[in-house]
Amino acid sequence: MPTYEQVLNAGNIDGQNVFRVRFATNPCSDIPQLQAWDDFQANTVISEQLVGTPANGNKPLVAAKHTTGGPSGAAWVPASATPGGATTNRLKGGESFCLLGATPPAANEDRTFQLALGCAADSAPGTSGHLPVLLVKTFYAGAPPDVSFWYNNASGGGTEVTPAWVQMTSEAQGTSMPIGVKNTIHATGPATTTSALDPVTKPGSGEKWSEEQWILTAL
């Protein structure tokens, strides 16, 4: 039976310790970039989630905000994507991405971020075109940092003050491998429980952002 864990304060709401990226072992030489692509090859950005729809003005429906310095604030998703990098941005490959900080992280340093997933009034039903891959692009001199993704498990008692960090399964860009179930983010409505997902409903016009995010932890 599938089971799920809720990510604390994930979405277009106020939150700080929601997701984090750890840069272990070695430092970065420049600011890392959080990007969204169609798949693990990171070659294309043609899916509906990244190009948007006519109803939302053809804007990306994935947004992220760097939060290491403080909480995101409510309704933080920007109206449009900023070309290149910004600490708050809508994500579309290398065209628009989220900068994880203002300086390069040192070895064994964490950077936290908020994440929001949206849908538009004319979004197609189903999962096709709505499964973007999150990627962190790093820069380094010498040996690369060891990069890992984590989420704050609200279902496991995590709070903003005392996070319950759980590591997600990830893979090297361009290298296909069996992925564990903890790599999947489900954007779902307010009636979701640890054993049942509430479907996302489309707005009557424009776009909306998921009320909650849950991680599939067992099939």
Domain boundaries, the chain: 3-218
Of 41-55, 92-106, 164-178, which gets the smallest average pLDDT? 164-178
Torsion sign, CA atoms 15, 16, 17, 18 = positive
Residues 110-142 pLDDT 10s: 999 999 999 999 999 888 888 899 999 999 999
Give pLDDT tens digits for 55-72: 999 999 999 999 999 999
Who contacts 38 (Cβ-Cβ below 8 Å, separation ≥6)? 44, 45, 46, 47, 50, 132, 133
Q: Scanning the structure block, which residue is given the tokens 């939060």?
A: 67
For the chain, the average pLDDT equals 94
Task: Give me the numbers of helices (H) and strands (E) for the chain, helices first please.
Answer: 1, 14
